Amino acid sequence: MKTSLLALAAFSLAAPALATTPMPRTLDQQADMALKSDALAWDFVEGITTEVGPRQAGTEAEKRGREWAMRWLTRHGFANVADEPFPMQTWVPGEAKAEIVSPFPQPLEVLALGDTASTGPEGVTAEVVFFRTVDELRAAPAGSLKGKIAYISHSMTQTQDGSQYGFAGPARWVGAGIAASKGAVATVIKSVGTDSDRTPHTGGTDFPQGVAPTPAGALSMPDARNLERMFARADGKPVTMKLTLTPRSLGTTMSGNVVGEIVGRDPSLPPVLVACHIDSWWNGTGAIDDGAGCGIVAAAAKHVSLTGQPLRTIRVLMAGAEETGLWGSKAYSAAHIDEPIAVGLESDFGADRIWRFESNFRDGNRALHDRIAKSVARFGVADSAIVATGGADIDIARDQKTGIIDLQQDGTRYFDLHHTANDTLDMIDPVQLRQNVAVWTQVVGILANEAGTIKP
């Protein structure tokens, strides 16, 4: 709270200075200023988490989030602010309870996974079968889980590049589907996370074609470890769980993509697309996922505009319904596929510092790649030969095979918080958030003033 007030105070002091400075700052100066005193990104994420809070895709809360974001963009001078609607299949979580019935009765903290089925309010009570890995589950004989609850563990540690998500993620992404195909009445997983808090990590899960969704939930890390200790101490006695999850489908509802523009001097040039997503899971307030990302891209666009009108339009896309199936990204690409963009960038990995720059035009436009890499070196950002593939919300950049830049954020803490109730403003470090805005300002400013083709 204190930090927030200080940050706002810093911005209030800076704002009149901007209004009275006769010459606009250079891009470098503006980025340096953002590093020291940006308060726009913080104001966005503080505002949306406080005034809206959770924004589950397809619900009225997400709609309030979009309306809030449009007001914010309008207030900060963005043009062509709009909510582009699309239909989606909407799922809401309901109640979630788990308890061990025997041999060691006690409650466990659980949350439903996205798009899973309900146990009904009466719950299901069944023996739990312990799988240390998804591969162990895959090896279980057909039909062997009939009438059972599958429990799937995994091992995940913190990594700066978030790469452990690829190893641990399948427990959530495909575990329930595999267990269901072998007859399980329900699945619980160890949360895909790296923390030790009683805050389960939700997220989406996929059931294979022809396999009806079952109830499935994630136990918090301490509860998962407790359950595993119970197996170690049960002396072979069955471990029985009562699981009550009451999610439901709302069928087709409307979501939308919020867009807004810093209009460029030459509207005939393809714009720079900077993206994030406006929805969040229901359990946190959507601060690091992805209020911060929206704050970062919007603040960067605004900072660039303060250096003078850019050559190209900068288009902000705050996609709807990312978490439950990338609905917004797909809808945006479908609607705008015939309007070429020059380059796409997305911020959706928390609010910690950017440590590496990647593009997909290093081979084809080395001069521009190197110029950008050099420009952000002073913020501690490393260059990389990795070919950028872009985030979830810029399907259009992949569909158009156009330029993509990835500004990689430090993900060490990200999976402590990802998809948990602890995804709140309190977890954002304002100093690292400002570094993001500075780097983004620098990169977007170069791109928006680049006359030549970005990815030839």
User: What are the residues binding a copy of itself (CB under 8 A)?
Assistant: 1, 4, 46-47, 49-54, 61, 64, 103-107, 109, 196-199, 221-222, 225-226, 228-230, 233, 284-285, 420-422, 424-427
Residue 112, CB half-sphere, CA atoms under 13 Å: how many?
26
Query: Which residue, 56 or 329, has its beta carbon nearer to a copy of itself?
Result: 56
CB of 450 to a copy of itself, least distance (A): 39
Instruction: Give every CB contact of residue 446 below 8 A, 6+ residues apart in sequence.
Output: 27, 368, 371, 372, 375
Answer whether 42's CB lies under 8 Å from 50's CB. Answer: no
Query: Which residue, 68 or 91, has its beta carbon nearer to a copy of itself?
Result: 68
Main-chain phi, psi angles of 437, to 5 degrees: -65, -40
Which of 121, 135, 275, 150 lies closest to 217, judged by CA? 150
Query: Which residue, 220 or 347, has its beta carbon nearer to a copy of itself?
Result: 220
Query: Which residue, 99 or 383, has its beta carbon nearer to a copy of itself?
Result: 99
How would you classify the pairing of strands 240-245 and 149-152? unpaired
CB of 37 to a copy of itself, least distance (A): 20
Query: Which residue, 153 or 359, has its beta carbon nearer to a copy of itself?
Result: 153
CB of 176 to a copy of itself, least distance (A): 23
Which of 215, 248, 245 lies closest to 122, judged by CA? 245
CA separation for the pair 369, 384 (Å, rounded): 10
CB of 52 to a copy of itself, least distance (A): 7
CB of 180 to a copy of itself, least distance (A): 27
Q: Write down the H helix ranges in 337-429.
A: 366-376, 395-399, 414-417
Query: Which residue, 309 or 424, has its beta carbon nearer to a copy of itself?
Result: 424
CB of 277 to a copy of itself, least distance (A): 18
Query: Which residue, 198 or 378, has its beta carbon nearer to a copy of itself?
Result: 198
CB of 4 to a copy of itself, least distance (A): 7
Which of 298, 347, 269, 265 lies closest to 78, judged by CA? 298
Angle at 343 between CA 339 and CA 348, to 5 degrees: 110
